[in-house]
């Protein structure tokens, strides 16, 4: 699906995002190795399934399955995928949609050949489009909204070439999408007019690439060239990017890309993800100071905010947690007891660093409160004298319709508890959030971002 994620399901964080990658090379027939490396760099955006489609001499080889990149593409499989052009995908889906049929890239046959699509986001008019297409005779094999996109484009190829068919199909899509599309001999990339999800272009010698984040470009020693503009459809050729069409843009990138979703070494639409998280920590120290002995972050997304808080407050930064790096795919724990066990499996407290100390603990968000309460409990059990929780985003109160899997406001603890009540609920000595009015400071003063999950006001 166009939906996807980075976070572990048992952690009760917002879950979003897939990762996409595409490449065209003038020479060589082993682009699958580059796709593999890029998908590995994007693994944080989706951990449930992965796949790639590679073209060679007008023939497309597809391979996808459930699992991590290293599991789906052992060396023997990777070496057998030859070609100089290809696309790849890492995927997260809600539990009911987490199956091999929904893994991407999605491949369809149409009037003029074959089309492969790898996408990230969520088409909000998916149901209406699907019903309309089904009434016209379309047969669907998956529950993915990417398949709706494929049908729209395939129908258009009966009267137009592929570039025109894609151009004509995109205005019918509402919601969020960043996608790569490939035929036997052409590669395209498209980003919705609001640019909800990131997409960028890079180059390495005679190879041109497009990726969800520039960290994927770094992994294959490519140089960032530019972002795909909101509303832009671009063809990636062996000579570089060519803009095919440009819809009127109304930029509103998801603010959670900076707070949590993206990797800290990525730069999205001109803003460093690391700088945004570091700034959030500094702002929290200015706005919610506390006497403490140590500042710590919940791995990994809370760590950079903790560094910023510590520097601004003049309090030492330290490590309170050891993260188990050997836990592979995460799982959805059905009971509270199992969810608490899952947290302890992933994190253990470094007792020598916290015992007898007053701790400031930063994290990116509180969605349901369960995980935060377990971590506070672990710190106090290890001897922490006080635990003061600082959250580098505002209270999460509203559902998201653009690719994040929080769809019910009743799930969100900020709607059922005041800050004081939530502080008591998680067992903290104090709790403070980053105020919503401070969000523009994270993205260099820009207000061109979506913050609907905090405000309930969604881009029109």
Closest CA to 270 of 257, 281, 261: 257
Sign of CA pseudo-dihedral 63, 67, 70, 75: negative
Strands (E) across 151-292 are located at 175-182, 187-191, 200-204, 207-211, 223-227, 232-237, 240-246, 253-254, 267-268, 271-272
d(CA 141, CA 139): 7
8, 11, 18, 450: the active-site residue: 18
The single residue listed with the structure tokens 């909000």 is: 124
In contact, 146 and 169? CB cutoff 8 Å: no
* Rg of the chain in Å (alpha carbons): 22
The residues, ordered by sequence, that sit 6+ positions from 337 with a Cβ below 8 Å of its Cβ are none
Q: Calculate the dihedral angle through the C-alpha atoms of 320, 323, 324, 328, rounding to the nearest 10 degrees.
A: 160
d(CA 9, CA 95): 9
The single residue listed with the structure tokens 């407050």 is: 313
d(CA 408, CA 398): 8
From residue 115, alpha-carbon distances to 31, 54, 108, 166, 243 in Å are: 18, 11, 5, 11, 19
372 catalytic? Reply is no
d(CA 164, CA 301): 41
Q: Exposed, middle or buried, 176 (CB in 10 Å: 0-12/13-18/19+)?
A: buried
In contact, 192 and 176? CB cutoff 8 Å: yes
In contact, 443 and 255? CB cutoff 8 Å: yes
Phi, psi of 413 (to 5 degrees): -65, -25
d(CA 246, CA 264): 29
Closest CA to 367 of 308, 408, 321, 306: 408
From residue 348, alpha-carbon distances to 158, 375, 378 in Å are: 58, 9, 8
In contact, 59 and 104? CB cutoff 8 Å: no
Overall size of the chain counted in residues = 460
Sign of CA pseudo-dihedral 445, 392, 10, 415: negative
Q: What are the residue numbers of the active site?
A: 18
């Amino acid at each position: 699906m166009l939906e996807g994620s980075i976070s572990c399901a048992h952690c009760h964080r917002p879950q979003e995002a897939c990762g996409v990658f595409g490449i065209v090379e003038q020479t060589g027939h082993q682009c699958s190795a580059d796709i593999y490396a890029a998908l590995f760099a994007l693994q944080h955006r989706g951990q449930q399934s992965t796949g790639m489609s590679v073209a060679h001499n007008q023939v497309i080889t597809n391979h996808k399955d459930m699992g991590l990149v290293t599991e789906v593409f052992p060396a023997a499989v990777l070496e057998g995928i030859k070609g100089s052009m290809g696309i790849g995908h890492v995927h997260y889906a809600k539990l009911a949609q987490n199956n091999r049929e929904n893994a991407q890239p999605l491949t369809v046959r149409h009037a003029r050949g074959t089309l492969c699509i790898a996408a990230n986001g969520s088409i909000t008019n998916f149901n209406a489009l699907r019903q309309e297409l089904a009434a016209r005779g379309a047969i669907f094999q998956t529950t993915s909204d990417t398949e709706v996109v494929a049908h729209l484009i395939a129908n258009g190829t009966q009267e137009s070439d592929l570039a025109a068919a894609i151009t004509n199909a995109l205005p019918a899509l509402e919601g969020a999408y960043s996608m790569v599309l490939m035929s036997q001999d052409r590669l395209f990339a498209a980003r919705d007019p609001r640019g909800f999800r990131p997409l960028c272009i890079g180059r390495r010698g005679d190879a041109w690439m497009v990726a969800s984040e520039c960290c994927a470009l770094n992994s294959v020693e490519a140089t960032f060239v530019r972002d795909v503009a909101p509303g832009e459809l671009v063809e990636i050729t062996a000579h570089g990017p060519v803009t095919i069409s440009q819809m009127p843009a109304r930029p509103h990138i998801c603010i959670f890309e900076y707070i949590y979703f993206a990797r800290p070494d990525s730069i999205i639409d001109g803003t460093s993800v690391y700088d945004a998280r570091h700034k959030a920590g500094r702002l929290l120290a200015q706005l919610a100071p506390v006497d403490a002995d140590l500042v710590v972050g919940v791995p990994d997304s809370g760590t950079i905010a903790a560094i910023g808080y510590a520097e601004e407050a003049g309090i030492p930064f330290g490590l309170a947690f050891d993260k188990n790096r050997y836990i592979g795919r995460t799982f959805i724990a059905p009971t509270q007891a199992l969810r608490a066990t899952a947290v302890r499996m992933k994190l253990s407290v470094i007792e020598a660093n916290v015992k007898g100390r007053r701790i400031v603990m930063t994290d990116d968000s509180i969605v349901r409160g369960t995980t935060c309460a377990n971590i506070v409990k672990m710190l106090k059990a290890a001897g922490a004298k006080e635990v003061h929780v600082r959250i580098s985003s505002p209270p999460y109160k509203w559902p998201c319709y653009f690719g994040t899997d929080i769809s019910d406001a009743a799930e969100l603890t900020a709607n059922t508890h005041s800050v004081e009540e939530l502080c008591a609920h998680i067992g903290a000595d104090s709790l403070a959030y980053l105020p919503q009015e401070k969000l523009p400071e994270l993205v260099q003063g820009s207000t061109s971002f979506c913050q609907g999950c905090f405000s309930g006001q969604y881009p029109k």
